[in-house]
């Protein structure tokens, strides 16, 4: 398939939906026009098609110590959320009722703070950014990230030795799994066997000022990567070539951050204060709208979800089917 050429988007093309969000790190778009995000005030937020923002679940997740990061919708409408709170693991919560464990132990040991969860039929994939998560600095040497696989209630390690493991997606045919390793500045593609075994990693390594975070797949089989700090949007073709289709950065600020990262002294304070002209720390991307041609972008430093129109439709996620 010949890919549609994407004319680069500009910051002025952005519009916004929702309001008062707290760290909308992960955005899900639903077929009824609703958007959902992990939110450290509301727990899981729902943005209605008219932009009205409120809690998506009855449970007071934040008061209970949960910090939802990546979220997913199950076939029956419950949420799975990767918990960056002290209890760690991945939890399940309905629109009503309390949260209950989904994947909280691995071989009898508590699963630490998790970053992301993806529903894959009767399986689920989970990322752990770092087994320690007690760093003063974010470096390319923090290679304790993992990918976990949950199948038939059993949790196994699918891959380890990764760097700040972030969002992941499967290719449309299910043959490959892509994962972003944020502070190694790379995207890794694994082959996926029928039993979930991951093998034959192929890596795209970006320039040192490119920190891949969230991702989504379009209907042409291309992968869209959104980059935290650099507020960059990259489109990766099936042959693993890539182009930048959006960027909103303060060049001198980003150069300073890239230098700090290269020297192993990048701190959360530097990351959290980085901004472009319109957005701050973009971290998530989802295709939505009636034709799946609306791009929704979540960001750690924004109080609303950013919106762009795409000439290419997205691939519907599991919860659309």
- The string of pLDDT tens digits covering residues 116-157 is 999 999 999 999 999 976 667 888 888 999 999 999 999 999
Mean predicted confidence (pLDDT) in 99-124:
97
Question: What single-letter DSSP state applies at residue 209?
Answer: T
- The pairing of strands 232-236 and 242-247 is antiparallel
Q: What is the arithmetic mean of pLDDT over 151-178?
A: 96
Report whether 320 contacts 314 (CB < 8 A). Answer: no
The closest alpha carbon to 129, from 79, 65, 84, 189, belongs to 84
Instruction: Spell out the residues 6+ positions from residue 63 whose beta carbon is closer than 8 angstroms to its own.
Output: none
**Token pair belonging to 87:** 């209890």
- Can you give the pLDDT at residue 174? 95
Q: What is the mean pLDDT of residues 199-225?
A: 97
Q: Where are the beta strands (DSSP E) in 218-254?
A: 223-228, 232-236, 242-247
Spatial separation of the C-alpha atoms in residues 292 and 311, rounded to whole Å: 10
Give the model confidence (pLDDT) of 47-79 as tens digits.
999 999 999 999 999 999 999 999 999 999 999
Q: Residue 134: its pLDDT value, please?
A: 62
What average pLDDT is seen over the chain? 95
Do residues 6 and 245 lie in contact, with contact meaning Cβ atoms separated by under 8 Å? Answer: yes
CB 106 within 8 A of CB 61: no
Q: What is the signed CA dihedral for 278, 212, 25, 232, rounded to 10 degrees?
A: 10
């Amino acid at each position: 398939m010949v890919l549609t050429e994407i004319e680069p988007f500009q910051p002025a093309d952005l519009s916004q939906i929702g309001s008062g969000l707290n760290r909308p790190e992960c955005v899900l778009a639903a077929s009824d026009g609703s958007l959902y995000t992990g939110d450290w005030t509301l727990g899981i937020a729902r943005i209605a098609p008219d932009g009205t923002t409120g809690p998506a679940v009855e449970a007071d997740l934040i008061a209970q110590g949960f910090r939802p990061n990546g979220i997913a919708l199950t076939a029956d409408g419950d949420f799975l959320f990767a918990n960056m709170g002290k209890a760690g693991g991945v939890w399940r919560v309905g629109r009503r009722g309390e949260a209950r464990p989904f994947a909280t132990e691995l071989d009898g040991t508590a699963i630490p703070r998790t970053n992301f969860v993806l529903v894959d039929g009767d399986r689920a994939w989970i990322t752990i950014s770092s087994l320690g998560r007690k760093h003063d600095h974010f470096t390319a040497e923090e290679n304790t990230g993992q990918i976990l696989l949950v199948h038939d209630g059993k949790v196994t390690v699918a891959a380890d030795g990764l760097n700040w493991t972030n969002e992941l997606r499967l290719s449309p045919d299910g043959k490959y799994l892509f994962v972003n390793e944020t502070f190694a500045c790379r995207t890794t593609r694994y082959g996926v066997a029928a039993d979930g075994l991951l093998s034959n990693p192929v890596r795209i390594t970006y320039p040192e000022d490119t920190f891949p975070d969230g991702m989504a797949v379009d209907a042409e089989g291309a992968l869209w990567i959104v980059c935290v700090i650099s507020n960059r949007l990259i489109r990766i073709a099936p042959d693993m070539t890539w182009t930048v289709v959006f960027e909103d950065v303060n060049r001198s600020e980003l150069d300073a951050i890239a230098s700090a990262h290269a020297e192993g002294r990048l701190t959360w304070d530097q990351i959290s204060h980085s901004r472009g002209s319109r957005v701050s720390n973009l971290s998530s991307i989802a295709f939505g709208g009636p034709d799946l041609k609306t791009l929704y972008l979540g960001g750690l430093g924004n109080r609303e979800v950013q919106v762009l129109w795409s000439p290419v439709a997205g691939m519907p996620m599991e919860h659309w089917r």
